[in-house]
Amino acid sequence: MDRFQVTILGCGSAKPTTLHYPSSQIVNFRERLFMIDCGEGAQVQLMRYGFNVNHLTDIMISHMHGDHVLGLPGLVSTLDLTNRDPANTLRVHVPSSGVQIITEMLDFFTKYKSFEVKILPLLPGNNTIFESDNLKVVSFPLYHGVECYGFKFIEGPRPRKLLGDMLEFHHVPYYLRNSIKAGADFMKPDGTVIPNAHLTTEGSPSASYAYCSDTRFDPRVVSAVKGIDVIYHEATYLDDCRVKARERGHSTALDAATVAREAQAKKLVIGHYSKRYKDSQPLLDEAMSVFPDSVAANEGLTIDLRRL
Amino acid sequence: MDRFQVTILGCGSAKPTTLHYPSSQIVNFRERLFMIDCGEGAQVQLMRYGFNVNHLTDIMISHMHGDHVLGLPGLVSTLDLTNRDPANTLRVHVPSSGVQIITEMLDFFTKYKSFEVKILPLLPGNNTIFESDNLKVVSFPLYHGVECYGFKFIEGPRPRKLLGDMLEFHHVPYYLRNSIKAGADFMKPDGTVIPNAHLTTEGSPSASYAYCSDTRFDPRVVSAVKGIDVIYHEATYLDDCRVKARERGHSTALDAATVAREAQAKKLVIGHYSKRYKDSQPLLDEAMSVFPDSVAANEGLTIDLRRL
């Protein structure tokens, strides 16, 4: 399946509520699953929304506050009780300041160690933490008063679209279709070369996604996510609490919308709501006043990054 | 309030499900709250059932498997964000083998350290871990393949019941009532002594409660909980899985009921259900075939230990 989508597992903030789970989400790129943050209960949410945990290859922890990481030891110890392929290494990316405690926790609570868990430190600056032909995942700094990272998922060029009639006309054999999708010309048996542009049209546009939580408003975040299609940005407070937001290294819904507008995003998803808001509508209204294409995260919300 | 009751916050087992939270429960003794085990999500459950977290004074961890302890750092860090009285020390009783990792986790994730957390090791044998005039809490060994403890709550003698007519007849002043409830005689102004037995009748019977999870069946558990009124006992499996139960240091519903019968309990509460059971009824049926006064735990179930 050629999916590229994000599913919210939790969008609450530090103080727990019965309305939301703490931060966690899944980016599904062609059935490879990346988890961003892993608050308490993330493992139950993964199960609730039907994800195949064997496809989970990378977990990225934005920062070492409990509501973003305390579901990790439970999730890893549960994976250890499943029939995960021993060769299916789990990569856990954590802020360098959290490597020691995470290593100790996972060592203690993972009983069988039936597969390898690689704990990889996130480091200051913009760093590529995953790269394949089709996808690049980059970490970048956020501004939350502690070592904290955002993540962006940038899809590579998409395959060109085949022109069926032209392939038939030139008798292009089936086994060459993938190379032609990738841009190759076709050489006929008589040596004539049919340029790729005669056989294909441009592929669909590539998609991209960025996660920005937790952070206060900072123009450097705008630069980091410039041109990204869909931005998830924390909106812990309404703008009437902007002083408190700044003090605590958080953003308001207005801040989140300003980042999306300045970065020229196509869509904004707000989340990480303070416990004080029983309803996300006022936060969404505030965001939409600045950036109309905003949606409010909720547990189970899935955004197809290819259909905006 | 003269309450003595237990509320189930979670009664699932190691593999998470969307049906149950992992192990946790609250014993409320006269508005002092004891938490037994603290699986992921225990803090949300505490809130869901309306407990006042400022009354939580003791948390006891039976053993160091994730489904019994991984809610602890999140709960303590949340308490740290509330206005807990700095003098209101939280006592956390953990198996001696878990003291180091728990200390490290609580140190790391508790940011403000606004009140003291005392981490107290549980030790082999029967040990009194809390004692007041009215209540004694004793830890005792369970048999789960790792260092593991059960807990029993034994109420002291209850106040005698005043005979209003007799108090009036002998002109007993109001301020002496509590000492007479506690068993004192009354000396009249003329020196005549009225024996307590003329002024009171026996108080209500004292109540008691024991928690046995996780453990395989073992006669030593029966001895430890002999005479306890209400026993919570794990019943991870049905008896057709007894071989697996033994191997994994767990009990069947039949085992749990046998413990209750041999210990001459008044009531058995079963819980810690394997993920394989979508419904606890077959487990309850099996327990009731041996010990009819059994109930199946469920999140939110409260048992009044004074009214059985």
As for the ipTM of the complex, it is 0.91
CB contact under 8 A, B17 and A47: yes
- Provide the mean pLDDT of chain B: 96
**Residues of B involved in catalysis:** 67
Per-residue pLDDT tens over the stretch B15-28: 989 999 999 999 99
Query: Measured in whole angstroms, how far is the alpha carbon of residue B75 from the centre of its chain?
Result: 18
Q: Is B105 on the interface with A (CB under 8 A)?
A: yes
Check pLDDT > 80 for residue B78.
Answer: yes
Band of pLDDT at residue B270, cut at 50, 70 and 90: very high
Which residues of chain A are modeled with pLDDT < 50?
A: none
Residue A256 · residue A273 · CB < 8 Å: no
Band of pLDDT at residue B91, cut at 50, 70 and 90: very high
Q: Is A48 on the interface with B (CB under 8 A)?
A: yes
From the list A9, A51, A56, A49, the residue with the least C-alpha distance to A33 is A56
Kindly report whether the global pTM for this prediction surpasses the value 0.95. Answer: no
Instruction: Return the pLDDT at B296.
Output: 98
Query: For residue B101, which residues of chain A lie inside 8 Å, CB to CB?
Result: 104-105, 108
Query: Measured in whole angstroms, how far is the alpha carbon of residue A172 from the centre of its chain?
Result: 38
Query: For residue B71, which residues of chain A lie inside 8 Å, CB to CB?
Result: 40
CA B92/CA B102 separation, integer angstroms: 9
Q: Which amino acid is at B98?
A: G
Check pLDDT > 80 for residue B37.
Answer: yes
Instruction: Return the pLDDT at A301.
Output: 98
Query: For residue A74, which residues of chain B lie inside 8 Å, CB to CB?
Result: 16, 40, 66-67, 70
The three-state secondary structure class of B145 is: coil
The nearest CA of chain B is from the CA of A165 a distance in Å of 51
Query: For residue B40, which residues of chain A lie inside 8 Å, CB to CB?
Result: 40-41, 43-44, 70-71, 74
Instruction: Return the pLDDT at B83.
Output: 87
Q: What is the DSSP letter of B12?
A: B
Instruction: Return the pLDDT at B113.
Output: 87
CB contact under 8 A, A17 and B109: no
From the list A138, A133, A131, the residue with the least C-alpha distance to A152 is A138
CB-CB neighbours of B307 under 10 Å: 8
The nearest CA of chain A is from the CA of B52 a distance in Å of 14
Check pLDDT > 90 for residue B112.
Answer: no
CB contact under 8 A, A109 and B70: yes
Query: For residue A73, which residues of chain B lie inside 8 Å, CB to CB?
Result: 66, 70
Q: Is A235 on the interface with B (CB under 8 A)?
A: no
Query: For residue B109, which residues of chain A lie inside 8 Å, CB to CB?
Result: 64-66, 70
CB contact under 8 A, B71 and A40: yes
Instruction: Return the pLDDT at A265.
Output: 98
From the list A230, A199, A200, the residue with the least C-alpha distance to A212 is A230
Q: How many CB pairs under 8 A join A and B?
A: 77
Q: Average pLDDT of B122-133?
A: 96
CB contact under 8 A, B105 and A109: no
Q: Is A73 on the interface with B (CB under 8 A)?
A: yes
Q: Is A101 on the interface with B (CB under 8 A)?
A: yes
CA distances from A11 to A21, A286, B158, B213 (A): 6, 18, 48, 33
Query: For residue B78, which residues of chain A lie inside 8 Å, CB to CB?
Result: 14-16, 66
Instruction: Return the pLDDT at A308.
Output: 87
The nearest CA of chain A is from the CA of B40 a distance in Å of 6
Nearest to A70 among B16, B74, B104 (CB): B74
Per-residue pLDDT tens over the stretch A212-234: 999 999 999 999 999 999 999 99
Nearest to A16 among B18, B44, B66 (CB): B44
The nearest CA of chain A is from the CA of B83 a distance in Å of 13
Instruction: Return the pLDDT at A233.
Output: 98
Give one DSSP letter per residue of A122-189, joined into a string.
E-SS-EEEEE-SSEEEEEEE--SSSS-EEEEEEE-PPPPEE-HHHHHHTT--GGGHHHHHTT--EE-T
Instruction: Return the pLDDT at B308.
Output: 87
Q: Average pLDDT of B68-85?
A: 95
Q: What is the DSSP letter of B55?
A: G
- Stated as kind and residue range, the H or E segment containing B78 is helix B72-79
Give Dmax over CA atoms of chain A in angstroms: 74
CA A297/CA A303 separation, integer angstroms: 10
Query: For residue A49, which residues of chain B lie inside 8 Å, CB to CB?
Result: none
CB contact under 8 A, A74 and B40: yes
CA B254/CA B268 separation, integer angstroms: 12
**Residues of A involved in catalysis:** 67
Residue of A nearest to B20 (CA): A44
CB contact under 8 A, A104 and B101: yes
Least confident range from A253-267, A283-297, B174-188, B284-298: namely: B174-188
Check pLDDT > 80 for residue B1.
Answer: no
CA distances from B168 to B105, B124, B185 (A): 59, 52, 15
The nearest CA of chain B is from the CA of A261 a distance in Å of 34
Range A265-288 burial, b when 16+ CB lie within 10 A, else e: bebbbbbbbbbebeebeebbebbb
CA distances from B173 to B169, B170, B186, B195 (A): 11, 9, 10, 15
Instruction: Return the pLDDT at A112.
Output: 80
Q: Which amino acid is at B15?
A: K
From the list A9, A60, A15, A251, the residue with the least C-alpha distance to B111 is A15
Residue A216 · residue A247 · CB < 8 Å: no
Strand B230-234 with B208-212, pairing: parallel
CB contact under 8 A, B16 and A74: yes
Nearest to A109 among B66, B81, B109 (CB): B66
Q: Average pLDDT of B67-92?
A: 95
Query: Measured in whole angstroms, how far is the alpha carbon of residue A101 from the centre of its chain?
Result: 24
Tokens of A201: 């049209």
